[in-house]
Amino acid sequence: MNACPWCGNDATGRDLIPRALTRVRRLLLVSRIRDWDYRVLLRPGISGVDPRYPKIVEIEQRYVVGKQRRDEISWTMLVGLITHELGHSFLYHHWEWTKHKRFVRAFGEVDKAYRGMDNSWVYFQNRRVAIAPRDHVTAYAAKHPQEDFAETFRFYVTRRGRLRDLFAEFGQKRKGVILYEKFLVLHDFVRALRGWT
């Protein structure tokens, strides 16, 4: 057992994961996104989802263990990171959807090659909509259509599916029309999954 000699609590930070997951599950529930049976695992390496195993979300363990290190991750970032990675999982799980015209018009071609991607988890703590770029919710979202979707998903979920509040913020920040459409595409799909077509 790894107990912190000062506070007596778990010093490994592992207890953060179940707590963050409870928060994320709650957010998914209030956003009314149907469970697709995803699993979140702590692994050494990098965070991400392998398209061959769409339901498995891996989170880099150094973000949550060894709290005294420089790469310590904040609570908001952990919730943001998990939600972002769940966005990838959700998309891989519903991959057929990426071929629909409306999806392609909003997000583009998700099969496009990845290039020059860095491990940019630091961005995922940001809960505010970026002013630039105009057609993306965050700067990170502009890197690739799959990242665009994962960031759209993260905002949709962390804002509890409340599009009215989100769209008011888009208005203030003079975001492009296409950004509203990305959220509407996701919103309508989430509704369709619940059988509200």
Binding site for Zn ion (CB under 5 A): 147, 150
C-alpha dihedral sign at 116, 122, 126, 130: negative
Residue with tokens 């928060």: 23
Q: Helix or strand or coil: residue 125?
A: helix
* Residue 124 CA neighbour count, 13 Å, CB half: 29
Min dist. Cβ of residue 163 to Zn ion (A): 22
Rounded to an integer, what distance in angstroms lies between the CA atom of residue 5 and that of residue 126? 33
Closest-approach residue to Zn ion (CB):
150
Cβ-contact 83, 122 below 8 angstroms: no
Question: For residue 28, what are its two tokens?
Answer: 């998914």
Rounded to an integer, what distance in angstroms lies between the CA atom of residue 25 and that of residue 11? 24
Question: For residue 145, what are its two tokens?
Answer: 């259509």
